[in-house]
Chain A
Amino acid sequence: MEQFLSLTLGGVVSGSVYAAFALALVLIWRSTRIVNFAQGSMAAATTFIAVAVIDAGGSYWLALVVALLSGLVMGALIERVVIRPVEGGPELNAVIVTLGLFVAIQGIVALVAGVDERAFVPPFSKVGYEVREGFTLLSLSPNSIWTVAAVLVTMLALTALFRFTRVGLAMRASAFGQEVARLLGVRVGRMLTLGWALAAAVGALAGMLIAGDVSFVGPTFMDTLIVFGFVAAVLGGLDSPIGAVVGGLLLGLALNYVRGYLDDSLLGMASLVILVVVLLVRPGGLFSTTAARRA
């Protein structure tokens, strides 16, 4: 029972980290119908900017703000400069471009920051709460609560943005039917840029949360998360922020049970099995909407 509790809570925490990453993927998918494989190294880059701020004596919170802002700027720049020329062309082109970005950004981070891993101290203590004498629940710590809360708040804010604001409506319109949206007076180009900027900022948040979770960061520290985040996003249907979060949590729980009750080495395989099964049974993801709405 204790192990189950511990695995479940641990699954929720790692699940929310996958969810944060999946949120960023979903945002870009919603705005430009592109799966952004560069998300991981973009987040690694903003995290290293945050590390530089901390090294220079700044606090974690200042570093977090800087990371989010640099995410916004980087996302907008990449959309305008690199993605815009391939938008509207064959989908494969855009995918290959994001793959190229992934490698290039990772290389730049390694060139600037070096390949050595370094310690990343989270804002809150990671010492688990002692549930009873001699039993400490590692997965329930001030930092894990902060991680889960930050992801939930982000998800709610994004859902509200898309559902209740004019900008959100315009962004959705631009993604679903560019020409119609343009005819209706939506500045489609700006909306696409905004989508990428927002996504990169969420990705930057994911990077900061993941860095605090794993304790050590290097240029490739997001690599394993890319697979899990992608699976989480597909689980949720790639289209809905809530789906991404639920997908992330489900994946986190499933993987933690696999790790706890089966074996550590089955993690990668388990996530791919889940991906295949979901795609076979519900090709549009667990939260797919009607086929007519899919572009």
Chain B
Amino acid sequence: MTRNSRRLVSVLAAATIATTMAACGGDDDSGGGGDSSGGGGDTGTAADNEATGPGMTEDTVTIGSHYPLTGRAAPGYSEIPTGVQAYFDYVNANGGVYDRQIEWVYRDDGYNPTNTSTVVRELVLDEEVFAIMGGLGTATHNAVLDFLNTEEVPDLFVASGSSLWDDPENLPYTFGWQTDYESEGKIIGQYIAENYPDAKVGLFLQDDDFGEDGERGVRQYLDDDQIVEVQTYTSGNIDVGPQMAALQSSGADFVLGFNTPPYTALTQLAARNLNYTPQWWYSNVGSAPDLVGSLLGAFSQGAVSGASALAGIMTTAYIPTVDQVDNPWIQLFQRIWDESGQEGVLTNTRVYGMAQAYTMVQALQAAGRNPTGDDLVAAVEEAGSDWRGPSFTPFRFSTDRHAGISGMSVVQFNDQGVGEELTPLLVTDTGDADIEEYDGEPIAPPESGIPDEEAVG
């Protein structure tokens, strides 16, 4: 009963959002003129644009996605598509890609795979999107992999670090984006082994591929007897008290969490109620200081304000974060966010959405003026590893690999909630690959704020 009714809620919510999107889309059409900001090697004009199939008309390209906009997983994540929207609006206002306006349609799946199947089918069959970009969640997106690959819909930059997306042979249309959880686990495991050799480590894992991949990476570098306890949680079960009590009674003095942001707040709260004070490390996914700080702030009656609730906590980073006010990408995204006129402030999840949108524009530019879905996939495979953007290290895209960003650095939050880097940028890969220091440099954004990739082929 409950599930069906929740689905109804989601469908209603989706309908509302779709209507809103349609209304917003109307305003964008006027911005079509002006200079073409298409690919660098582009010599054509708008007159050369042709409709090539679903989602790609003469003057628009439709991109779709699914996010949890309601429910337990929604806090934080529901902001990602607003970041994407802000960046696409910015690109559209500057002429779009090859004189096409990007239309962005996203639906609420409530982080429930059954809903994901429904809404993604709607996006593909009713909305006729050209590609799916940044579909969020491991279990949720897993539910639509076969459908998207059978329908031959490009499935770019899944918003999850599972290694599932890197399988070009069976899933030729699917690509990852963020650093995979296994590589992240390796980097974390090595850091703990080298810097906290005496720590008794307890793991707190989401009980799906997210937790499993992370644990696999961590265990490559940490001895089994240094990991004294492993606790898991099922997303949706919000009482984590028993898990925290078990970690405490195991004697773990270093807790490493592969969990979503709400569970960072829940574990912090449960530990506070237990007087449990280990060193904390949350993997990148769970370390949303703005969100966690705002949730925790209310419980300390103002004694701890906002993000400083996370002081001392360690995490990893692969794209810049909002606390890095001097980072040129953050400055660019701040400007774009302010201009977009949407409600709220720039957050890390919005930065994530903008960074993904930036990569999407690179892909559309590389795919050429009149691409099919297959052209888009070929462009990512051929040129993707050369694209640079907000991410600290490059993508691993090729015809053999569909894995995203390759590295990250270790970060610790100081008393002001600002992340301080403890290591240089480290790159690695799944499996036996070594962890190495990245020899390149992060790049600054182009002056226009819009990438300028040449069309391949």
Interface of A toward B, CB cutoff 8 Å: 2-3, 6-7, 10, 14, 37, 99, 102-103, 106-107, 110, 115-121, 126-128, 130, 135-136, 138-139, 141, 213-216, 218-220, 223-224, 226-227, 256, 259-260, 263-265, 267
Which residues on B sit within 8 Å (CB–CB) of A219? 70
* Stretch in contact with the other chain, from B71-79, B320-328, B405-413: B71-79
The minimal Cβ–Cβ distance linking A77 to chain B, given in whole angstroms, is 21
From known contacts A127-B272, A216-B265, A226-B2, infer whether A116 and B75 are also in contact, taking CB-CB under 8 Å: yes
A220 CB contacts on chain B under 8 angstroms: 6, 9, 70-72
Is A215 within 8 A of B299, CB to CB? Answer: yes
B448 in contact (CB, < 8 A): no
A-chain residues with CB within 8 Å of residue B241 when the two chains form the complex: 10, 138-139
Given the known A-B contacts A110-B70, A128-B273, are A102 and B5 also in contact in the complex, defined by CB atoms under 8 Å? yes
Q: What are the residues of chain A within 8 A of B6 when measuring CB–CB?
A: 220, 223
Which secondary structure dominates chain B's binding surface? helix
Sorted nearest first, the 4 A-B pairs with minimum C-beta distance are A119-B298, A265-B234, A138-B241, A126-B273
Q: Do A14 and B12 have beta carbons less than 8 Å apart?
A: no
A218 to B269 Cα, complex, angstroms? 17
In-complex Cβ contact of B242 among A99, A128, A260 (8 A) = A260
0/1 string, B230-264, CB within 8 A of A gives 1: 00111011110111111011000000000000100
> For the complex, is B69 an interface residue (Cβ under 8 Å from A)?
yes
B1-41 CB mask vs A (1 if < 8 Å, else 0) is 11001101100110000000000000000000000000000
| Cβ B242 vs Cβ A256 within 8 A | yes
Whether B298 and A264, one on each chain, are in contact in the complex, defined by CB atoms closer than 8 angstroms, is no
Given the complex, which residues of A lie within 8 Å of B232, measured CB to CB?
263-265
B443 interface contact, C-beta 8 A: no
Q: Which of B70, B207, B242 contacts A265 (CB 8 A)?
A: B207
In the complex, A106→B299 CA distance in Å?
26
Query: Smallest CB-CB separation from B297: which chain A residue?
Result: A119
Instruction: Identify which of B1, B234, B249, B273 contacts A267 (C-beta below 8 A).
Output: B234
A59 to B246, CA, bound (A): 35
Closest to B108 in A: A115
Which residue of the partner chain, among A10, A216, A223, A226, contacts B295 with CB atoms under 8 Å?
Answer: A216
**B→A interface (CB under 8 Å):** 1-2, 5-6, 8-9, 12-13, 69-72, 74-75, 78, 207, 232-234, 236-239, 241-246, 248-249, 262, 265-266, 269-270, 272-276, 294-299, 301
B242 pairs with A127, CB closer than 8 A = no
A265 nearest in chain B by CB position: B234
CB neighbours (8 Å) of A139 from chain B are 241
Q: Are B275 and A264 in contact (CB under 8 A)?
A: no
A28 to chain B, nearest CB (A): 16
The answer to whether B239 and A14 have CB atoms under 8 Å apart is: yes
Which B residues are CB-close (under 8 A) to A2? Answer: 249
| Residues in B neighbouring A256, C-beta threshold 8 A | 242
Q: How far is the CB of B93 from chain A (nearest CB, A)?
A: 28
Known contacts: A138-B241, A216-B238, A223-B2. The answer to whether A264 contacts B207 by CB under 8 A is yes
Given the known interface contacts A121-B299, A215-B266, the answer about A138 and B9 at a Cβ–Cβ threshold of 8 Å is no
A88→B414 CA distance, assembly (Å)? 65
Identify which of A107, A126, A215, A224 gathers the most chain B CB atoms within 10 Å of its CB: A215
Residues of A within 8 A of B72 (CB): 117, 218, 220
Asked whether A127 and B273 contact (CB < 8 A) given A103-B12, A216-B262, A216-B265, the answer is: yes
Q: From residue A267, how far is it (CB to closest CB) to chain B in Å?
A: 6
A226 to B272, CA, bound (A): 28
A156 CA / B8 CA spacing, docked (Å): 38
Contact in complex: B238, A214 (CB < 8 Å)? yes
Q: Is the CB of B5 within 8 A of A116?
A: no
Is the Cβ of B244 less than 8 Å from the Cβ of A138? Answer: yes
CA distance A103 to B4 in the complex (A): 10
Cross-chain contact B1 with A37 (CB below 8 angstroms)? yes
